[in-house]
Amino acid sequence: MLAKNLPFNKEKLEEICSNHPTPFHIYDEKGMIENAKKFNEAFSWNEGFREFYAIKAAPNPFLMKLLRNQGFGIDCSSMAELLLAEQVGMRGEEIMFTSNDTPAEEYQKAMELGAIINLDDIKHIEYLEEHAGLPELISFRYNPGALKGGNIIIGNPEDSKYGFTREQMFEGYKIAKEKGVKRFGIHTMVASNELDPDYFIETAEIIFDLILDISKELDIKFEFANLGGGIGIPYKSEHKPVDLNRVSEGIKNLYEKLIVANGLHPLKIYFESGRAITGPYGYLVSKVLHIKETYKKYAGLDSCMANLMRPALYGAYHHITVMGKEDQAHKFLYDVTGSLCENNDKFAINRLLPEIHPDDLVVIHDTGAHGHSMGFNYNGKLRSAELLLRENGEVVEIRRAETYDDLFGTLDFDTAANFE
């Protein structure tokens, strides 16, 4: 098993833990920013290129500010996420609102902020008009159905609840044009955690072809193609990250062939990635509470699936480092567990690790996206703090840990005391 890099060593982590009790998620600012720059550089050929960070992956205003400094927009899909965008001071077309089954208030908020609205259903053209009015710029989410295979997290497009059919795309833009919408964008997202660069090139081809057909038939001009999120990350050390330069090169070739050659230039390329932006730069840090030996060996941590749900939810692999024991033989088979009354509460099953002892510091890798944000409070587990390791080595608490007062804040114990 190959090792995975960490932005801190054991001494540095012990120092951090002396000021911040475990468990916590810690994010690596330097790694995150270098990666954001690489993403922008890869697509610098495309004027107006923009990545809208899918804020659900790590909804923290500090992280959003760092990414906004790199020119990133924000991708929101709920009221809370729109409110967060507003709090960070984001407005207008730096916000993409890609929602589904959307309540009227969320459309009203998105309109108030001037966000780009990306509809998930043809019927929502009328719903939006009725509840919030129609914007000048609109985008629709395309579901290519059988044209494109899916994967385990997102399923097959035909079974997916998202987006318009091909026929609905034509019909939808026609209706929007008739209703006076002036500017048009298009969106699709058919991947999740996909590591094959060709997948994103094929997706671009499907979208460029569709742009060509719709522009011709309806005589409208598209301003942007949003290719969604879904760029995978190498959770396993033997995996390779998606080569963004290769994705970009492939998309550029198609752009010349389909967009430029047909007089459809300029078209801005957008992404709304979450995982690929912050995923590899987050770490869940825990202490070992107990080692248990029954029919198997268990290493019980002071965190649980409420801090990181992906292994229990999808059987997802997250690399684990036992700090200071990186060079020891990984010859002990462990289930690494949390304390929920739920046998699924395991970060790893049958994982070969060095011998673990109580108080060892254990780092679970790649928790920077869909990690803390997927947390929950089952069994009354409190959600952990989030820390940022700054480029200069300083550590900033960017979210405090929950307290029991937070947890019980929605209960009225006084009324309950008098309840017969």
Ligand X SMILES: *Cc1c(COP(=O)(O)O)cnc(C)c1O
Residues known to be catalytic: 341
Establish how many alpha carbons lie within 13 A of residue 352's alpha carbon, considering only the half-sphere containing its beta carbon. 7
The residue (of 278 and 337) whose beta carbon lies closer to ligand X is: 278
The residue (of 13 and 190) whose beta carbon lies closer to ligand X is: 190
Q: Which residue from 135, 144, 185, 274 is in contact with ligand X, where contact means CB under 6 A?
A: 274
157-163's contacts with Cβ under 8 Å and 24+ in sequence apart are 157/190, 160/190, 161/100, 161/101, 162/100, 162/120, 162/189, 163/120, 163/188
Size of the site for ligand X (CB under 6 A): 19
What is the rounded distance in angstroms from the CA atom of residue 326 to the CA atom of residue 360? 12
The residue (of 193 and 321) whose beta carbon lies closer to ligand X is: 193
- Kindly state whether residue 299 participates in binding ligand X, applying the rule CB under 6 A: no
Q: Which residue from 25, 275, 372, 381 is in contact with ligand X, where contact means CB under 6 A?
A: 275
Q: Which residue from 54, 88, 207, 259 is in contact with ligand X, where contact means CB under 6 A?
A: 54
Integer angstrom CA distances of residue 375 from 75, 171, 286: 20, 40, 15
Q: Which residue from 57, 210, 227, 308 is in contact with ligand X, where contact means CB under 6 A?
A: 57
Minimum gap (Å) between residue 418 Cβ and ligand X: 45
Q: Which residue from 51, 272, 366, 386 is in contact with ligand X, where contact means CB under 6 A?
A: 272
Q: What is the CA radius of gyration of the chain?
A: 23
Quick check: 166 and 144 in contact, CB under 8 A?
A: yes
Minimum gap (Å) between residue 75 Cβ and ligand X: 6
Q: Which residue from 98, 139, 143, 373 is in contact with ligand X, where contact means CB under 6 A?
A: 98
Q: For the segment 157-216, give every residue that binds ligand X (CB under 6 A).
A: 189, 192-193
Q: Which residue from 139, 215, 273, 373 is in contact with ligand X, where contact means CB under 6 A?
A: 273
The residue (of 276 and 322) whose beta carbon lies closer to ligand X is: 276
Left, alpha or beta for 42 (phi > 0: left; psi -120 to 50: alpha)? Answer: alpha
Query: What b/e string do you get for 266-294 counting C-beta neighbours within 10 Å, with b at 16 or more?
Result: ebbbbbbbbbbbbbbbbbbbbbbbebeee
Orientation angle between helical segments 244-254 and 29-42, nearest 10 degrees: 20
Q: For the segment 368-397, give every residue that binds ligand X (CB under 6 A).
A: 369
Minimum gap (Å) between residue 120 Cβ and ligand X: 9
What is the rounded distance in angstroms from the CA atom of residue 301 to the CA atom of residue 318? 15
Binding site for ligand X (CB under 6 A): 54, 56-57, 75, 77, 98, 189, 192-193, 228-231, 272-276, 369
